[in-house]
Structure 1
Amino acid sequence: MTDNKVLFTKEMQKDYTILIPMMAPIHFQLLRNVLVHSRYNVELLENTGPSVVEQGLKYVHNDTCYPALLVIGQMIDALKSGKYDVHKTALIITQTGGGCRASNYIYLLRKALKKADLGFVPVISLNLSGLDSQPGLN
């Protein structure tokens, strides 16, 4: 763990599942396929409904934009579902690197994970700006 972030290491590639939020169905299905082809174990989340919203409201400040609340809620809902070994699961989220609020989703997600007692779960930033690099994802 460095600077309040848990690293996703090369060793974790072998036995971790990476969860991808459903932010844009076509685009994130492509992302899933690219990662699978690169030999990562990934799953595109499909959980929806009131529990996603409830988890988002519980762990994200209510002034946060609704899309962030839903994405973070979806990820925490998945982790708390019992379907995944939370000690062998990582999350991936896009990060724009510009002035868009989406650049901050990763920090909001890490803060929410800590609040949910899941601060040990690695969060991988997927970006083209060289932000928040992780040794386990090239």
Structure 2
Amino acid sequence: MRGAYRDGLLDRPSVADGCRCAVCGRPATNRHHVIQKGMGGVSAAMERRIPKVLLCGSGTTGCHGAAHGRLLHLQWCDGMGGWVWWRSDVPMDDELAWRLHRGEYRPLRGWVEARRWKTYGRRP
């Protein structure tokens, strides 16, 4: 289900430094879609709009597993210079986590803009 919260994350730059987890710094093994695609997938145009973050682990282990388990929360924050994260002790919805714990989020490690901003000439 899409809403204003999720739509606000579309078209943000991806975190693509190439080798390290953007949260903990361990070797990155997967790209995580910040906005979940769903089982049916998405169109190529929508795929380009969804930001991705390099994380360690799989969908069930490491930081990637924490993101899918609703323990690792990623958010765009202009006031903090871009992507920020917070890890909860209990599973919680991303929007609720942002509303309740905004002051506890930390910047992602050295996020860099994906090439698509240069390719398409757009910026957030």
TM band (smaller chain) = under 0.3
* TM-score (normalizing by structure 2): 0.25
* TM-score (normalizing by structure 1): 0.23
Determine which structure has the larger strand proportion and give its number. 2
Determine which structure has the larger helix proportion and give its number. 1
